Amino acid sequence: MAIFGKSVPFLWVLILVLSSANNSRVSAVVLIEVTNRLDNGSLDLTVTCPNIENKSFLLHPGQYHQWIDNGDSSPSGGPFFKCSFQWKGASHIFNMYNPARDFDCEECHWYIKETGPCRVYDRPNKPTICSNWDS
């Protein structure tokens, strides 16, 4: 009887872990928006994301570009993994969608600043959260 009592909680934990691993993304469709907000307002931004339309996008100050991920890619290596951001004198990389960080994101709006990307929430009670560049 003692063995059964100890194994039931373990089984519940195992079931929860396996179900969350299979459903790591809450939404099937995620919109990613990137806006050029480089600090001095006069720098163009080039954005390149592997596996997205196989091209780079030039964003003038204040311009944005959007992508939609329909959930066909794996969360660990999806199309927004390791996007590169380049402007005069700088080049950086950032993961635009990370399920552990962006689990609540159906529309991820990012402002690209020289100091790093900042996620902007469309809810008044959520502050803008800035991240460091991956490299």
For residue 42, being part of any structural domain is answered with yes
pLDDT computed for residue 5 by the predictor: 57
For residue 102, being part of any structural domain is answered with yes
For residue 89, being part of any structural domain is answered with yes
For residue 69, being part of any structural domain is answered with yes
For residue 109, being part of any structural domain is answered with yes
Number of domain units in the chain: 1
Q: Are 70 and 29 in contact (CB under 8 A)?
A: yes
Instruction: Check whether 32 has a pLDDT greater than 50.
Output: yes
Mean local confidence (pLDDT), 72-95: 78
Question: Which is higher by pLDDT, 131 or 27?
Answer: 131
| Range(s) of the domain holding residue 92 | 26-130
Instruction: Check whether 83 has a pLDDT greater than 60.
Output: yes
Q: What is the pLDDT of residues 36-49, one digit of tens each?
A: 999 888 899 999 98
pLDDT computed for residue 57 by the predictor: 92
Mean local confidence (pLDDT), 18-22: 46
**C-alpha to C-alpha distance for 71 and 63, rounded to whole angstroms:** 26
For residue 92, being part of any structural domain is answered with yes
Percent of the chain with pLDDT over 70: 68
For residue 53, being part of any structural domain is answered with yes
For residue 36, being part of any structural domain is answered with yes
Q: Which residue has the tokens 């163009």?
A: 44
Which H/E stretch holds residue 107? Answer: strand 107-113
Q: Domain with 114 in it: what CATH number? A: 2.60.40
Of the candidates 99, 107, 105, 108, the residue with the CA atom closest to the CA atom of residue 20? 99
